[in-house]
Amino acid sequence: MFTVAFFTTHDHLDIHSDVCTPRDFTTHDQLDIDSDVCTPRDSTAFKTKMAATTTASSTFIHLLHDDTSSLLSSRGTRLRSSSLALLPTRRTSSTSHLIQFSPKCLANPLFVTATTAEKKKSPFQTEAVRQLTGFLTKAEGFRFAIVVARFNEIVTRPLMDGALDTLKKYSVKEEDIDVVWVPGSFEIGLVAEKLGKSGKYHAILCIGAVVRGDTTHYDAVANSAASGVLSAGLNSGVPCIFGVLTCEDMDQALNRAGGKAGNKGSEAALTAIEMASLFEHHLKD
Ligand SMILES: Nc1c(NC[C@H](O)[C@H](O)[C@H](O)CO)[nH]c(=O)[nH]c1=O
Ligand SMILES: CC(=O)[C@@H](O)COP(=O)(O)O
């Protein structure tokens, strides 16, 4: 299993199989990829086996087991991976393959270079500097709780489903996930803190949807939810992931719960796995 990658630009991914700890790159640029696709013999294998990358903001690819639920995002445009044509790979040197994705709604194709031997070093990296990052691989065995607000359930349920789906795709077992429903986003922090302190979980995903109404109630609930989740993490020492939408209207919320802006629950799940991994492998007391 190789964990690799950086985006040189938002249209280029360079994948270096020997960079097991992507010290050169920020975690938000991380891409996890199965070793057997670093030398992609056929595009189908690559398409089905390539694991995911995520970032809160910009470019990421999800091409895991099930294309239809996978997403690709570039320059802020999120696409279903089913709208991608995966073009034949091309060997560019004895160790490199150029893999070309052609998202239909992007002007330029997206290129991925998979390199199996050469190591690229950041000019700023020295042997003395250790850079620690969590991985999306090896999520099996991690335990997660999802605290989900019932308020605006039409939004929060698909967010929760997105989170569950992604956790399962990353090999988290159903029996290692507990879902706790609370009345509204205001209540999430308290419950997340309690769950975090229980010592049973590697990370807590907090899911809610605060949608602006006529009064200032929105600001109170949204800010309380954010500071509640933050406090829960700080007080429990367990990563508490902020998957609470704060939206101007229901359209914005639905777009982020499996609509055209993706699924923030799924993104929260990836963040949870990365943070669980960071804590487990690098930040244990
Ligand atoms: N308006 C929204 C709420 N309001 C409910 C509060 O979260 C809370 O349950 C109540 O004030 C009792 O303490 N909750 C949301 O999640 N989203 C909203 O838009
Ligand atoms: C975000 C909310 O709290 C919302 O439901 C409140 O709506 P309103 O401000 O119209 O009372």
> Is 183 near ligand 1, meaning CB less than 6 Å away?
yes
Phi, psi of 195 (to 5 degrees): -65, -40
pLDDT over 60 (residue 258): yes
CA of 206 to the centre of ligand 1 (A): 14
The pLDDT score that the predictor gives to residue 38 is: 29
Tell me how far apart the alpha carbons of residues 98 and 232 are, in angstroms, rounded to a whole number: 44
Phi, psi of 107 (to 5 degrees): -65, -45
Q: Who's near 94: CB < 8 A, 6+ residues apart?
A: 117
Domains of the chain: total: 2
CA of 208 to the centre of ligand 1 (A): 9
In terms of phi and psi (left: phi > 0; alpha: psi -120 to 50; beta: otherwise), the region of 158 is alpha
**Low-confidence winner among 131-140, 142-151, 214-223, 275-284 (lowest mean pLDDT):** 131-140
Together in a domain, 148 and 258 = yes
**Low-confidence winner among 103-107, 230-234, 260-264, 267-271 (lowest mean pLDDT):** 103-107
pLDDT tens digits along 177-228: 999 999 999 999 999 999 999 999 999 999 999 999 999 999 999 999 999 9
**What value does the mean pLDDT of the chain take?**
69
> Is 149 near ligand 1, meaning CB less than 6 Å away?
yes
pTM of the model: 0.66
3-state secondary structure of 236: helix
pLDDT tens digits along 142-162: 999 999 999 999 999 999 999
pLDDT tens digits along 163-176: 999 999 999 999 99
User: How many other β-carbons are positioned within 10 Å of the β-carbon of residue 11?
Assistant: 16
Full residue range of the structural domain in which residue 64 is found: 2-115
Residue 84, CA distances (Å) to 62, 109, 172, 263 in order? 11, 10, 27, 18
Together in a domain, 8 and 82 = yes
> Is 185 near ligand 1, meaning CB less than 6 Å away?
yes
Q: Which of 22-31, 95-104, 120-129 has the highest mean pLDDT?
A: 120-129
Instruction: Tell whether 134 is covered by a domain.
Output: no
Q: Which tokens is 64 given?
A: 């895991």
Instruction: Tell whether 169 is covered by a domain.
Output: yes
Residue 119, CA distances (Å) to 4, 116, 186 in order? 11, 9, 48
3-state helix, strand, coil in the chain (%, to 5): 35, 30, 35
Together in a domain, 148 and 262 = yes
Instruction: Tell whether 99 is covered by a domain.
Output: yes
Share of the chain above pLDDT 90, in %: 50
**251-269: burial string, b at 16+ Cβ within 10 Å, e else:** ebbbbbbbeebbbbbbbbb
pLDDT tens digits along 35-45: 233 222 233 33
- Among residues 100, 115, 130, the one where a domain terminates is 115
> Is 61 near ligand 1, meaning CB less than 6 Å away?
no
pLDDT over 80 (residue 76): no
User: How many other β-carbons are positioned within 10 Å of the β-carbon of residue 220?
Assistant: 12
The pLDDT score that the predictor gives to residue 136 is: 85
Residue of 148, 185, 252 to mutate, ligand 1, most atoms within 8 A of C-beta: 185
Instruction: Tell whether 85 is covered by a domain.
Output: yes
> Is 177 near ligand 1, meaning CB less than 6 Å away?
no
pLDDT over 80 (residue 67): no
Residues with C-beta less than 6 Å from any ligand 2 atom: 210-215, 217-218, 221
